[in-house]
Structure 1
Amino acid sequence: MRQLAAILFADMTGYTALMQENEQLARTKRQRLKDVLEETIARFHGKILQYYGDGSLSIFNSAIDSVHAAIEIQQQLLQHPRVDLRIGIHTGDVTIEEASIYGDGVNLASRIESLAVPGGVFVSEKVYDEIRNQQHIQTREMGYFELKNIKQPIRVFAIANNGIVVPGRHEVRGKTAAPVNRLAVLPFVNMSADPENEYFSDGITEELLNTLTRVDGLQVTSRTSAFAFKGKNDDIRDIAIQLNVDKILEGSVRKAGNRVRITAQLINAADGFHIWSETYDRKLDDIFEVQDEISGIIANKLKENLSAPQKTVPAIKSSVKNITAYTHYLKGLHFRNKLTPADLRKAIECFKEAISLEPGYAQAYAMVAMVYSYLGSMGQMIPHTAFEIAHQYADKALELDNTVSEALIAKAMPCILYDWKWQEAHDMLQKAIQLNPTSAEGYDLLGFYYIATNQKAQAVKTLEDAEQIDPLSTTIIKSLGMMYVFSERFDDAIRQAEKLLEMNPEMRSGIELKAWATGMKGDWQSALTLFEEVQRLTNHPLKGLMGLGHAYGRLGMIDKAMDCIHRLEQRQQEEPDVVIDGDLAAVWLGIEDLDKTFYYLNQCVDKRMGPVACFMEYPPYKKIKQDPRFEALKTRMGI
């Protein structure tokens, strides 16, 4: 029998040694442990499946019950005669046959238990996501750990209720392999009087990241996650735990007149020890030469301390030499990262201004191409227009410099989202990620390639890998959540949505992700409430209606679903450049009018609305997969 369960491993420590010293006391403690386990686990609706040596394995239907049981077990065992016990808990799919239990979740729970300390309770991130809002459960993050026979680093939390032992990170580190040669470059602080110099300090950080990502043997946390700490005063050790790195580079920039002073320090994350610190005073005749020099010096200094096999650092030269152009480029990045249609249009203006000042600026051409692809894929521009412009700018970027990963991604976007040249796009994305292993856009797009070509397991793996590299990227968190939805792992998708909502409780994409996952789990009433909130946050009567209309249809509220359709049709008339056929297809699907659903899906294909290749793989569309019209659609897209 296969089921989802919370798996609790408990292991008594020091039993063998105690047997040699005092056999009677050892047996007394072991019996006491057995009595406490059996009474407490049963009371919290759990079941002991196995005893082994001086340990046990139990399962629960609820992660919350398993943690409450663990807390009470440890608190009882504090009393005389004290029993030292380690507990580890994880939730996952397990297979139970007679008295045996199998599954990756069992192995992971066992590894987490071995990581714990006597008197402690360690839980996986999946368990933490289910207990995080429980008022009577306190936790403390321990960070990421490399565990034996587990491919990816595992994020672990300690239960911190009264009486539960919570070790320091250093007490646990000796039990496992620590991250090696993993570096975060925090945004260098602008110490200048002029706030405009913020772009210069950000530029120094960007140059360092661009250089260091090309160093063999060094894993560098992506810009998105590193910049999440900009302007904050978090403890270096806490940052390292969140980003799963062993070293952090931080610094400051002071620019005055024709002089610049840059201070940089490399810090060992485990103890906060400064491995080295240097200050560079330079003239500012050409700030880009200064950036190249400083990034090269720091990168080579890092190599001395990071013991990677390569002994030289590749020099990365900026393609731009105009400070004003560079400033416009950085402003464009600022607006692009917001991803709203209005901000994306501002970003295009900034990038085009940079190009007018610096005609050979490959990265700026690539960014213009990317933003037009965003607008075309979001239905904010006629796809034919948006992607034709995207191709022109991407081609120019590649002509200027075909080693810029952004240029390859910019070219891959229309290939996937408009031309449906699947293999060509796949090859370009693989090359882009090879050039820049921290590219969030590259992983994101590759994930959707795998969805469109019906390789869902590979899509999940790609985005899970991306989240390890860029754990604080909202784009990656959201995309991984969507991959979980495509794979019908709805609880995992909801956990991803909660991560987004923890960052911003009114993030529409987070609420929408949670709504779809909740509905597809079977609770369309709760999903409807969430979709209503999505629509409210658009602050527009004709927007945010797709999920709302679909939920109304699922709940048999046909009049309200039809009202959503009428409002979508009204928007189409008022905004002829906006393509909403995908929204209409989803609402008609909710109403279960398959003729209308296929009509609008074909409209999406006619207009080359690229994402249609992906959203047709969304679980609600399963009901139309047996219809011959579905295969005809896939054939039209070359899938």
Structure 2
Amino acid sequence: MKIDNFFAELKRRKVFKVGAAYLVVAWLAVQAASIGFPAFDAPPWALRIFILIALLGFPIAVVMAWVFDITREGVKLDSQASGSKGLFAAAALLIVLALGWYFYGQPSFRKGDVTTPAVADRNSIAVLPFTNISGKADEDYFSDGMTEELLNVLAKVPQLKVVARTSVFQFKAKGGDIREIGRKLGVTNIVEGSVRRDGPDVRITAQLVRVADGFHIWSETYDRKLERVFALQDEIAQRIGAALKLSLGISAPIGARAPIDPEAYEEYLKGRALLRQRHDLPAAIAHFKKAVAKAPEFAAGWSSLSLTYEVSFWYTEHMTAAFQVELLAGEAAAAERAAALEPDAAATEHALGNVARAQFKYALAERHYLRSMQIDPSYPDVREDYSELLYEVGRVEDSARAARQLVTLDPYFSVGWARVVNAATALDRRAEVEEGVRQLRGIAPVLFMGKFGLLDYALAHGRADEARAALAEIETRWPKDAEFARQLLPWALGEPGIDARNLPAVIAAAPEGEATYYLIARQDIDGYNADIQTRGAILQAYYFANLYSSRPAGHAMLRDPRVKAMLVRYGFPAYWREKGWPAGCQPLGETDFECGTDAASVH
């Protein structure tokens, strides 16, 4: 059959009319189902099945219209079969495409994507970074800050699961299909929008989108003065809660917040942007100081200042003990101010926990961290510090569980994967070490743990050939970073002919904490003690964990009286007497203890 005759035949048999009518009715049915299914608590897969049936029905309806003809005598089988093969082939292709769409959407067909949950929580939402449409690229900090603040407000809704900040910011300025982004984040709803700022005036457009079908549940534009920015954030959160109430049965009881000085808020957002990027932290500290100077009652400004002081340790080259004392003093003062203003805030409890840990008061730090997580279960930063604390005091299994919970909550949080590597190294779990290193190299390729994680793991367990192979890879991929390891590894492994005259300088110049692995592998107790005493309280809290993670070298060192004295100095026995002793350590009466007596049981 010629193509012209074929289309004429399609028209004669009313295939076009049937197809068009089916598409209209099917579209209306899907829209109704997408609203009705959630309201009746239908599982997430129910809507996909409904859409699949609608898709499969289209080629069937077209074939039926072709094969059967409506006459005055009723419905009859049309005997003119010419052209049927082509139509049947097209219908079969449509069926295959429909089935392909359905099965590709199943998690089992997307293996290898660590961010893809098996099933999205129906009470889940992500706030994508709002687009800065002010025409000034240097004002991204403002739109990013609005995103983060709205995310924090929504996180206070008890029934709502809110995706963490680090994960949503992976999608900043990347565009893409909202349904695919929602799949990757494991949510059923997404908030997106834009921010336009003109001096003291702010225009925000926000919209709530259902991931299943891309349907816009709610959208609105707000014009406000900057001084009313908190009220605006609360109002948007309330509207989102109202929009979700019908389908999810939740509400957003957001308490009103006091207005803030616009200049103080501007400084705060600038500081938050730098803190989030871990970039130019001295400038972030300066911004937070200006913020709290203009708004002394702004608790979030004080807690952010305290947390930035703590983070600065890890991002300051050639940190000295004297400078760390200065950082710790600022951290403590800011945390105390935050506690006086807003004692029940998650960030306040987090900051207080960091201060207690830096003072070697580990049990107090643990209480603050647990309280912070209770206030805001979706706050990932405190979970990272909690996992780190558990690792430091020898509760490595608990640390591993906490780290896994963290990267499940926020898969793109790079330091969470560092905690996974720490605990897995201590437990000698190769697969988990390799997983963590792989994730770090993908998410944050500049981090040292991503580059050196496999070398540190091999060194901790005395695997010389494996350590040399890991160093060879580092020398190939990151030759500048490998210089200190190139000089220290042969010495740590006890190779002959090593000129030790330059070793003190190499150890002193090594990145923070990296020389530790080599000193322990060498079982250089005096060298280890001397080095860690120059590093300040942040690394001194790692004193026990560094040894506990190393077998056999570290466990052998734990038996030495010089190490025992340092354990007392850094507060570990006090924690253990209150919370329980790690495997390989035990009390001897009321005042004494020993470690290293049963090192193998740790593994």
TM-score for the superposition, normalised by structure 2: 0.68
Q: 1:553 aligns with which of 491, 495, 503?
A: 491
| Corresponding position of 1:431 | 371
CA distance in 1, matches of 2:204, 2:515: 55
Unaligned runs of 5+ residues in structure 2 are 1-101, 573-603
The 5 Å alignment of 1:344-359 reads 344-359=281-296
CA distance in 2, matches of 1:123, 1:520: 38
CA distance in 2, matches of 1:552, 1:371: 37
The 1:415–1:587 alpha-carbon spacing in structure 2 relative to 1, beyond 3 Å, is same
| Corresponding position of 1:399 | 340
Deviation of 1:281 (Å): 4.1
The 1:258–1:269 alpha-carbon spacing in structure 2 relative to 1, beyond 3 Å, is same
Whether the 8 Å contact between 1:384 and 1:607 is mirrored in structure 2 is no
| Corresponding position of 1:527 | 470
| Corresponding position of 2:423 | 483
Deviation of 1:334 (Å): 2.4
Where 2:180 maps in the other structure, the secondary structure is helix
Q: Deviations over 1:203-239 (max 9, x none)?
A: 3322321211111111101111111111111322222
Q: 1:272 aligns with which of 214, 220, 232?
A: 214
The 1:455–1:182 alpha-carbon spacing in structure 2 relative to 1, beyond 3 Å, is same
| Corresponding position of 1:321 | 260
Q: Percent identity?
A: 26
| Corresponding position of 1:103 | none
Deviation of 1:480 (Å): 2.0
CA distance in 2, matches of 1:564, 1:482: 29
Deviation of 1:124 (Å): 9.2
CA distance in 2, matches of 1:353, 1:604: 30
Structure whose alpha-carbon radius of gyration is higher: 2
The 1:557–1:240 alpha-carbon spacing in structure 2 relative to 1, beyond 3 Å, is farther
CA distance in 1, matches of 2:298, 2:497: 53
Q: 1:365 aligns with which of 291, 298, 302?
A: 302
The 1:444–1:399 alpha-carbon spacing in structure 2 relative to 1, beyond 3 Å, is same
Say whether 1:335 aligns with 2:291. Answer: no
CA distance in 2, matches of 1:365, 1:505: 31
TM-score for the superposition, normalised by structure 1: 0.64
Q: Deviations over 1:81-101 (max 9, x none)?
A: xxxxxxxxxxxxxxxxxxxxx
Q: How many residues align?
A: 461
Deviation of 1:440 (Å): 2.2
CA distance in 1, matches of 2:277, 2:501: 31
Whether the 8 Å contact between 2:154 and 2:160 is mirrored in structure 1 is yes
Deviation of 1:412 (Å): 1.0
Say whether 1:615 aligns with 2:557. Answer: no
Whether the 8 Å contact between 2:116 and 2:186 is mirrored in structure 1 is yes
| Corresponding position of 2:405 | 465
Where 1:350 maps in the other structure, the secondary structure is helix
Q: 1:209 aligns with which of 124, 127, 151?
A: 151
| Corresponding position of 2:395 | 455
Whether the 8 Å contact between 1:553 and 1:590 is mirrored in structure 2 is no
- Bigger mean CA offset, 269-278 vs 283-292: 283-292
| Corresponding position of 2:453 | 513
CA distance in 1, matches of 2:420, 2:499: 29
Deviation of 1:421 (Å): 0.8
CA distance in 2, matches of 1:243, 1:518: 34
| Corresponding position of 1:624 | 557
Q: Which amino acid aligns with 1:190?
A: N
Where 2:434 maps in the other structure, the secondary structure is helix
Q: Which amino acid aligns with 2:276?
A: N
Q: Which amino acid aligns with 2:400?
A: V
| Corresponding position of 1:499 | 439
Where 2:117 maps in the other structure, the secondary structure is strand
| Corresponding position of 1:92 | none
The 1:608–1:277 alpha-carbon spacing in structure 2 relative to 1, beyond 3 Å, is closer
Where 2:121 maps in the other structure, the secondary structure is coil
Where 1:616 maps in the other structure, the secondary structure is helix
Deviation of 1:247 (Å): 1.6
Q: 1:567 aligns with which of 498, 502, 505?
A: 505
Whether the 8 Å contact between 1:535 and 1:544 is mirrored in structure 2 is no
Whether the 8 Å contact between 1:508 and 1:537 is mirrored in structure 2 is no
- Bigger mean CA offset, 190-199 vs 261-270: 190-199
Deviation of 1:603 (Å): 6.3
Q: Deviations over 1:497-516 (max 9, x none)?
A: 11221235444331122332
The 1:630–1:447 alpha-carbon spacing in structure 2 relative to 1, beyond 3 Å, is same
Where 1:233 maps in the other structure, the secondary structure is coil
CA distance in 2, matches of 1:372, 1:590: 32
Q: 1:238 aligns with which of 151, 165, 180?
A: 180
Whether the 8 Å contact between 1:519 and 1:525 is mirrored in structure 2 is no
Q: Deviations over 1:23-63 (max 9, x none)?
A: xxxxxxxxxxxxxxxxxxxxxxxxxxxxxxxxxxxxxxxxx
Q: Which amino acid aligns with 2:470?
A: A
| Corresponding position of 1:262 | 204
Q: Deviations over 1:93-127 (max 9, x none)?
A: xxxxxxxxxxxxxxxxxxxxxxx979x995896xx
Q: Which amino acid aligns with 1:568?
A: V
CA distance in 1, matches of 2:278, 2:498: 30
Deviation of 1:583 (Å): 5.1
The 1:195–1:528 alpha-carbon spacing in structure 2 relative to 1, beyond 3 Å, is closer
The 1:197–1:570 alpha-carbon spacing in structure 2 relative to 1, beyond 3 Å, is closer
Where 1:619 maps in the other structure, the secondary structure is coil
Say whether 1:252 aligns with 2:225. Answer: no
Unaligned runs of 5+ residues in structure 1 are 1-115, 129-139, 147-177, 573-578
CA distance in 2, matches of 1:420, 1:141: 36
Q: Which has the higher strand share?
A: 1
Q: Which has the higher helix share?
A: 2
Say whether 1:589 aligns with 2:520. Answer: yes
Deviation of 1:411 (Å): 1.6
Alpha-carbon RMSD across the aligned residues, in angstroms, is 3.5
The 1:314–1:202 alpha-carbon spacing in structure 2 relative to 1, beyond 3 Å, is same
Q: 1:229 aligns with which of 167, 171, 174?
A: 171
Q: Which amino acid aligns with 1:276?
A: W
The 1:520–1:189 alpha-carbon spacing in structure 2 relative to 1, beyond 3 Å, is same
Q: 1:218 aligns with which of 160, 184, 192?
A: 160
Where 1:497 maps in the other structure, the secondary structure is helix
Whether the 8 Å contact between 2:459 and 2:521 is mirrored in structure 1 is no
Say whether 1:420 aligns with 2:360. Answer: yes
Where 1:217 maps in the other structure, the secondary structure is coil
CA distance in 2, matches of 1:195, 1:544: 38
Deviation of 1:386 (Å): 2.4
CA distance in 1, matches of 2:189, 2:289: 37
CA distance in 1, matches of 2:138, 2:418: 32
- Bigger mean CA offset, 501-510 vs 484-493: 501-510
Deviation of 1:276 (Å): 2.7
Whether the 8 Å contact between 1:210 and 1:316 is mirrored in structure 2 is no
Whether the 8 Å contact between 1:265 and 1:276 is mirrored in structure 2 is yes
Where 1:479 maps in the other structure, the secondary structure is helix
Q: Deviations over 1:455-493 (max 9, x none)?
A: 111111111111121111112122222222222212212
| Corresponding position of 1:76 | none
The 5 Å alignment of 1:136-215 reads 143-146=116-119, 178-215=120-157
CA distance in 2, matches of 1:514, 1:123: 30
Q: Which amino acid aligns with 2:180?
A: D
